[in-house]
Structure formats: C-alpha cells, structure tokens
Amino acid sequence: MSFNKRFINKKSLEMAASQGLDYLIGYVTKPDALIIASDGISHQVCDIVGLTKDKDKIKEKLKNIGFYEFK
C-alpha cells in the first residue's frame, strides 16, 4: 500500500473547484497527507472543506472568503 500525498496551492484548488464541489471535496480529503502552500487562502480552503460536513455551508464559507462561488 502506498502513502498518498498532495501538494496544494491556490491554483490547484481553483482547478479542482472548476470541476465541481464534489471533486474539490475529494481532492482535499482523499490523500493521506496534504502539503499546503503558505499563500493564505489555501489553508483556509482546506480547513473549510475538511472540517465542514454540509455542502451548502461549504459553498457559503468559500464564497465568504472570496475563493469560489459554486452554482
């Protein structure tokens, strides 16, 4: 079995978000470890997606920090 890690930055999160909310959630929660860039917003997005269970609340919180607005 391998150890899966993912490098996270604002651009990679925006690309994942463009595929939809479910894809973004999987992108953040499926790897065994995240290596998060210190660009400010990446850490906030990962915290919101990782700690919030309700998809509507995730959408609202991401919109409030100015990351991405899902339809």
Q: Would you place residue 69 in the very low, low, confident or very high pLDDT band (cuts 50, 70, 90)?
A: confident
Pairing of strands 5-8, 33-36: parallel
pLDDT, residue 29, reads: 97
Q: CB of 57 within 8 A of CB of 27?
A: no
**Chain CA centroid to CA 53, Å:** 13
**What's this model's pTM, rounded to 2 decimal places?**
0.91
Which pLDDT does position 12 carry in this prediction? 97
pLDDT in tens, 11-68: 999 999 999 999 999 999 999 999 999 988 999 999 999 999 999 999 999 999 999 8
Stated as kind and residue range, the H or E segment containing 15 is helix 10-17
